[in-house]
Structure 1
């Protein structure tokens, strides 16, 4: 559905304003779709992002600071998210031997199993673009960020 129909507005000052509003609207739409997708699995999109980061490090550990630097949403409260994932037995946290204030984090077998169960269907089923269109969109978004 076109942005004009979604927000019931047909006039925009410029094509750039229309594109910006469309981008904001679509980002919120995607977040809502992700929430709906992850809810039955008992995690959030942000927790999924952390599990993917940890899977990429597996079997090595990684610090919470490094996790935060790799996250899609860097404004997240990583400590709280890690505590929740640990409570669900999806990750292990241990005190870093070199710095007692830091934690070493690894993904558990349960975390790996959950990622396997979810698979990457979240990526495939959210937006209706073919591979060429997806690559073009990604390039345009990179250009937006300058």
Structure 2
């Protein structure tokens, strides 16, 4: 992706600005592809992330704080994400009767099944986005990105 060409400018953009713009353009391309992959499942990237976090806990419950800490995109509307997934039947939420602020959230069997299907679509999208890269190039790219 040529930044100047994408932005339709004849001016040479300074390297530092060009790098940040390039990362932003790539981020947008990835986000658009992920939204497209998840659209048939009627879930957002953030909802998908919540489901993956809960699956990764292997049946252990999570609370909103745990989910927020592990989210790829940090946000304050985790409660809303959980509520939407509850309506779909993908999560269970248990509120402690003695302390209403203490809640336990788990993925349901229906949520796990749906997540397996989402994984297939997301994996295909990732492969499509990265098909021009070798494993060595991906390792190098990750090493460079770790510097952030």
Pairwise same-fold verdict (TM > 0.5): yes
What residue in structure 2 maps to residue 123 of structure 1?
126
What residue in structure 1 maps to residue 136 of structure 2?
132
Matched residue SS, 2:146:
helix
Measure the CA separation in 2 of the matches of 1:110 and 1:43. Answer: 14
Aligned residues: 144
Q: 1:91-112: CA deviations, max 9, x gaps?
A: 1111146742132110011111
- Alpha-carbon contact 1:64-1:102 (below 8 Å) kept: no
Matched residue SS, 1:62:
coil
- Alpha-carbon contact 1:90-1:108 (below 8 Å) kept: yes
What residue in structure 2 maps to residue 69 of structure 1?
69
What residue in structure 1 maps to residue 21 of structure 2?
21
Displacement of 1:29: 1.5
- TM-score where L is the length of structure 1: 0.88
Q: RMSD of the TM alignment (CA)?
A: 1.8
Displacement of 1:22: 0.3
- TM-score where L is the length of structure 2: 0.87
Measure the CA separation in 2 of the matches of 1:11 and 1:96. Answer: 60
Q: 1:48-107: CA deviations, max 9, x gaps?
A: 111000000121101111100000011251000000000000111111467421321100
What residue in structure 2 maps to residue 49 of structure 1?
49
What residue in structure 1 maps to residue 30 of structure 2?
30
What residue in structure 2 maps to residue 101 of structure 1?
101
Matched residue SS, 2:130:
coil
